[in-house]
Amino acid sequence: MDRAPRPLDRIDGVILRLLQDDGRMSVRGVAERAHISRANAYARISRMTEDGIIRGFTALIDHERAGMGTSAYLTLRIVQHSWRTLRRRLSALNCVEHMALVSGDFDVLLLVRTVDNRELRELVLGRIQSMPEVLDTHTLLVFDETDRRPVPPVL
């Protein structure tokens, strides 16, 4: 995928919203709800997949019911120019759901999910703080959260 994705229109936005709400929705279901033909829905989904706009289909998980009842955001200050190495190390940790290199008072923002506070403590104190690239950590415990899935703006 060396070229830029083709522009999205209103129908593409409708399709993206439908698939975000139910990634298992059939092409027929998408077509009916978007008020287009099945062939048009199939072609649009294929194009957005080929363009890398749709990167995959996944299940939305209730983390607490799945046994991962503790969530936290971790901020990290890291050694300058160590992001690529650190990203590989962090990627090996199953409990890291999201990671981002950011600007501001810290360098990295992580969303982690663990079974309980004991596992969170072991993750932060035992695994992450022991990584040579990590200078400092700060933990923000999540008490409640609401997922939103924004769709790119379209014409």
What is the pLDDT confidence band of residue 2, given thresholds at 50, 70 and 90?
A: low
pLDDT given at position 148: 77
From 3-7, 49-53, 75-79, the region with the lowest mean pLDDT = 3-7
Residue type, 116: D
Q: What are the C-alpha distances in Å from 68 to residues 65, 117, 119, 121?
A: 7, 10, 10, 14
**121 compared with 60, residue with greater pLDDT:** 121
Among 24-33, 105-114, 143-152, name the one with the lowest average pLDDT.
Answer: 143-152
pLDDT at 136 over 60: yes
Q: Is 155 exposed, middle or buried (0-12, 13-18, 19+ CB in 10 A)?
A: exposed
Taking only the tens place, the pLDDT of each residue in 65-74 is 999 999 999 9
Work out whether strand 108-114 and strand 70-78 pair parallel, antiparallel, or are unpaired: antiparallel
For residues 111 and 71, is the Cβ–Cβ distance under 8 A?
Answer: yes
Mean pLDDT of 42-65: 91
pLDDT (mean) for 95-117: 97
How confident is the model at residue 39, as a pLDDT? 97
Contact 16, 151 (CB under 8 A): yes
pLDDT (mean) for 7-25: 92
Give the end-to-end CA distance of the chain in Å, rounded to a whole number.
23
On the question of pLDDT at 34 being above 70, the answer is yes
Instruction: Indicate the pTM of the whole model.
Output: 0.78
